[in-house]
Chains A and B, each alone.
Chain A
Amino acid sequence: MPDTMPEQTLAPGVTITRERELGGDILTVNFGPQHPSTHGVLRLIVDLDGEVIRRVKPVIGYLHTGIEKQMEALRWQQGVVVTDRHDYLSPPINNLAYALAVEQLMGVEAPARAQGLRVIMSELTRIASHLIWLGSTGIELGAMGIFMYCLRDREKILDLNEEISGFRMHTSYIRPGGVTADATPRFLEMLDAFVKEMPGNIQEYENLLTRNPIWIERTQAIGYLSAEDAIRLGATGPMIRGSGVPWDLRKDRPYCGFETYDWEVAVEDAGDCYARYLVRIKEMRESVKILRQALDRLPGGPVNVDDRKILPPPREELDTSMEALIHHFKLFTEGYSPPAGDVYVAVESGRGENGCYIVSDGTHKPRRVKFRAASFVNLQAVEHMALGHMVADMIAIIGTADTVLGDADR
């Protein structure tokens, strides 16, 4: 078994002996699917030589929801609700990928105010997703306190979600053609307060962890992923940026006007778990920066395209216009039919490239919807990163890969 082991480059200053340390056999350990540290229902089959990992095989599918099949059974506008639930830590970003794909296929573009609100929602979601990541990974690595701080602030984001869409988690806020509802004045006030206090809160997390010796011990030089390997293995999001590749879809393939905001791509060169932690902290700061700008220059105007074929007419028109009534009826009984063709749109979620590939055959239901899940691809890199490390380090490696199993299994 050891002769065929793939070579792995480790961080500078770290040597892990590659010889079998104990004379005994390789021990195969099953890990999960119910395990408090696997971020959900991930199962890993680990071959151990003493405490050193010789092989990791992730087994997924324990949260396979049949979302892609379900979307084929739903009409185009109904699918939005299902997209919320695959990567359940970033519902508006999933909505956004789907909405942009449908819009691109139909050749419509959401109005400027909707674009601004989409940016606000996707950045709020990114912060919320990183907060859950920070809190739960903190617990897994033995830092209980950070969890409370993170959830305290995530609660505020959920309140914002509730104010703008009426629901805390699965907002279904962004839909083809625009957004569900305009932002209320109270939402803008709450967002303003949130943006003002968030930099101080992020500093609090940093005070707890960045120089914490236990945290550094458990994450630095663990789970090294070189830039070449990150590209080769298709890693995206904080995984690839933690390895020194400044690849961010918001900059490199911009959507919703992200190119017009003044912000930087968070990059760290070290390539280990600690670097991925720093990238996420930095990303939260950048998201706050984007939120500030988006809030300050949120344009006025409608939040939905003025196209009765995609979106229902306003409620008050229904009482006066026969045509509006017909449009309303047609839309909610039959739905709309994008032209035949296929399109792939990718957006940057908290985990990486969250893409949506849709195939239309010209009917009112999709022929095929495929979600390019960042977790699904990033999880394959865990096999590579964990080799040669101690079994306890695997928690840090899975943790900083930030896989959401709903995303990986769909």
Chain B
Amino acid sequence: MGVEKLADRLGENVLTTTLGKVVGWGRANSVWPAQFGLACCAIEGLMHTAGPGFDIGRFGSEAMRASPRQSDLMIVTGRVSQKMAPVLRQIYDQMPEPKWVISMGACASTGGVFNNYAILQGVDKIVPVDVYIPGCPPRPEDVLNALMILQEKIKAQGIKPRL
């Protein structure tokens, strides 16, 4: 095979891109959520989304890790009580960078119907949240939609450090 021929083939076999784009692409399609269920939303957001009806595996996120050290994404599924808040923050701190947070449901986002002494009025008071999902509980489709929004965000972020 001559060098000229090889050069012709290059266009078919080599893709030029930026490092940021390829890293973002890789990260976005292998977001591993922490297997961390809190309340009602855990049934819809983790179990049914991973179940046969919705299959989060289509988006590369079926690998739910029991250890925060192996996960990229924390889905805060449900209300966070005052007693759970320090625990949740510790789990977040244990996750390696880069990491993302989806606040699932009304309770995690704002406290929801539980406007009282026991519930943290929004998980964004203790961890930075990337995507909020409304609903009580949101449907699994909403969770998949949030995941796709997050994927766009991850792709755009590339290798740039988190702001």
Contacts and interface: CB of A to CB of B under 8 A. Distances in A.
B137 A169 contact: yes
Interface stretch (B96-104, B111-119, B123-131): B111-119
A66 B38 contact: no
Interface stretch (A119-127, A147-155, A270-278, A338-346): A147-155
A241 to B, nearest CB: 24
A391 B31 CA distance: 32
A292 B114 CA distance: 38
B39 A33 contact: no
B87 interface: yes
Interface stretch (B17-25, B48-56, B144-152, B153-161): B48-56
Contacts of B53: 151-152, 155
A143 interface: no
Contacts of B133: none
A41 interface: yes
Interface stretch (A67-75, A180-188, A216-224, A301-309): A67-75
Interface in A144-173: 147-148, 151-152, 154-155, 158, 168-170
A329 B139 CA distance: 33
B63 interface: no
Question: Which interface class (under 10, 10 to 19, 20 to 34, 35 or more) fits A?
Answer: 35 or more
Interface string A109-142: 0000000000000000000000010011000000
Contact of A82 (B39, B82, B113): B113
B87 A152 contact: no
A135 B48 CA distance: 11
Contact of A132 (B47, B81, B83): B47
Contacts of A70: 113-116
Given A65-B119, A66-B116, A168-B139, A36 B66 contact: yes
A58 B43 CA distance: 23
Contacts of B36: 34
A390 B84 CA distance: 28
A169 B82 CA distance: 25
A350 to B, nearest CB: 13
Contacts, number: 101
Contacts of A61: 81, 83
Contacts of A69: 116-118
Contacts of B47: 132, 135-136, 147, 151
Contacts of A154: 48, 51
A391 to B, nearest CB: 16
Contacts of B66: 35-36
B72 interface: no
A85 B118 CA distance: 15
A85 B40 contact: yes
A18 interface: no
Contacts of A158: 48
A63 B81 CA distance: 6
B37 interface: yes
Interface in A81-121: 81-82, 85, 88-89
Q: Which of B48, B66, B115, B118 has the most CB of A within 10 A?
A: B118
A200 to B, nearest CB: 17
A370 to B, nearest CB: 16
B117 A65 contact: no
B95 to A, nearest CB: 12
A81 B52 contact: no
Contacts of B137: 168-170
Nearest to B48: A151
A190 B52 CA distance: 19
Contact of A66 (B35, B44, B48, B119): B119
A81 B82 CA distance: 22
A64 interface: yes
A258 interface: no
B135 to A, nearest CB: 10
Interface of A: 33-36, 40-41, 61-67, 69-70, 73, 81-82, 85, 88-89, 132, 135-136, 147-148, 151-152, 154-155, 158, 168-170, 405-406, 409
12 contacts: A34-B68, A63-B39, A63-B81, A65-B114, A66-B118, A67-B114, A70-B113, A73-B116, A82-B114, A151-B53, A155-B51, A169-B44
Given A85-B39, A168-B139, 8 more contacts: A34-B36, A61-B83, A63-B39, A63-B84, A67-B114, A69-B116, A70-B116, A89-B43
